[in-house]
Amino acid sequence: MEKNGFFAKLKGGLSRTRDALSQNLDALLFGKKILDVDLFEQLEDLLISADLGPRFTRDLLDEVQDKIKRRELDNVQEVKKILRERMLAILAGAPPLPEIRRDKPHVIMVVGVNGSGKTTTIGKMAHLLRSEDHEVMLVAADTFRAAAIEQLEIWGKRVGAPVIRQKMNADPAAVVFDALAKISGGYNGIMIIDTAGRLHTKINLMEELKKIKRVISGKLPGAPQETLLVLDATTGQNALAQAKMFKEEIGVNGIVLTKLDGTSKGAVVVRIVHDLALPVRYIGVGEGIEDLREFVSEDFIKAIVD
């Protein structure tokens, strides 16, 4: 898809967030000449309800106030420009993700609570990576239910990627061990590991995920290069709490925000990056195979505040 079509689709997917942020901001600032206390309060409410968080909101309002004092803000409409610049600066400040090399195996472990969109994201991701000529292998380490394995196999067929699986209820770490044993020597593709969002045994999910990670690094030093946390954007602040927990418990070095098409809370991306210093790898803007985008800060900001 050419660049404009791509951006139009991104914009379409993010329309609810844009309405909540950009349109409401326009409505609030329209015809206003001075930023009085009343307008400041409304602005604060708007930013908080868009899930940008209290810290970001306070910083932004401080900057606006400073600019007024220094007489650098002579047009109320400039608030929008300041908002855009602040969000961009935060997103640009995130640490970089490891690049995918083509001379050795690259392992991506995908984690997240149940229903956040892990399996679907893996399917879409595999499609994207296949279109960039990467060899891709999927690993069904969510052995919690048979449907999870089948779901991954359907994606594997759709995108032309083999799926390594065992029976339902098998030890997830054993499935991963098995998959890694299969790639020894000369494999330079990408292995994407699907994990469970919850377990039926009493084993703590975090312990289970740590075990899988240990198996990977034991078999393939330096891997997994990526531990991607999938977060459902519609959960807003809950996504932030989940990100904190996963980052502390198992170590995460990138996030995927899904379901941005169904929420007005998309700006929560900025808050997560701000509070947790984690980069965003992809965003999901629909259920279709093409509905996953590499995250490009400029495009994202342009799509939510125009």
Query: Which residues lie near Mg ion (CB under 5 A)?
Result: 118-119, 148
Q: Which does 259 bind (CB under 5 to 8 A by kind): ligand GTP, Mg ion, none?
A: ligand GTP
Burial 248-282 (b: 16+ CB within 10 A, else e): eebebbbbbbbbbbbbbbbbbbbbbbbebebbbbb
One of 53, 105, 117, 156 touching ligand GTP (CB under 6 A) = 117
The answer to whether the bond into 224 is cis (omega within 30° of 0) is yes
> Considering only 54-62, 81-89, 155-163, 285-293, which stretch makes contact with ligand GTP by CB under 6 A?
285-293
- The strands making up 292-294's β-sheet, listed across from edge to edge, are 163-164, 136-141, 190-195, 106-111, 226-232, 254-258, 280-284, 292-294
Q: Which does 224 bind (CB under 5 to 8 A by kind): Mg ion, ligand GTP, none?
A: none
Q: Residue 226: what are its φ and ψ, rounded to 5°?
A: -130, 130
Min separation Cβ 284 and ligand GTP, Å: 3
Q: How open is the CA angle 63-237-211, to the nearest 5 degrees?
A: 120
In the stretch 167-206, what mask flags binding to ligand GTP with x, by CB under 6 A? Answer: ------------------------------x---------
Alpha carbon distance 108, 223 (integer Å)? 8
Tokens of 166: 């065992």
One of 105, 172, 254, 286 touching ligand GTP (CB under 6 A) = 286
Min separation Cβ 209 and ligand GTP, Å: 12
Alpha carbon distance 81, 84 (integer Å)? 5
> Considering only 18-26, 85-93, 108-116, 214-222, which stretch makes contact with ligand GTP by CB under 6 A?
108-116
Min separation Cβ 260 and ligand GTP, Å: 6
One of 127, 259, 274, 281 touching ligand GTP (CB under 6 A) = 259
Assess contact for 141 and 107: CB atoms under 8 A: no
In the stretch 149-168, what mask flags binding to ligand GTP with x, by CB under 6 A? Answer: --------------------
Alpha carbon distance 141, 305 (integer Å)? 39
One of 12, 115, 160, 251 touching ligand GTP (CB under 6 A) = 115
Q: Which amino acid is at 65?
A: Q
Alpha carbon distance 145, 25 (integer Å)? 45
One of 24, 242, 258, 264 touching ligand GTP (CB under 6 A) = 258
Alpha carbon distance 170, 229 (integer Å)? 23
Min separation Cβ 292 and ligand GTP, Å: 7
> Considering only 89-97, 118-126, 235-243, 298-306, which stretch makes contact with ligand GTP by CB under 6 A?
118-126
Min separation Cβ 114 and Mg ion, Å: 7
Positions touching ligand GTP (CB under 6 A) are 112, 114-120, 142, 148, 197, 258-259, 261-262, 284-287, 291
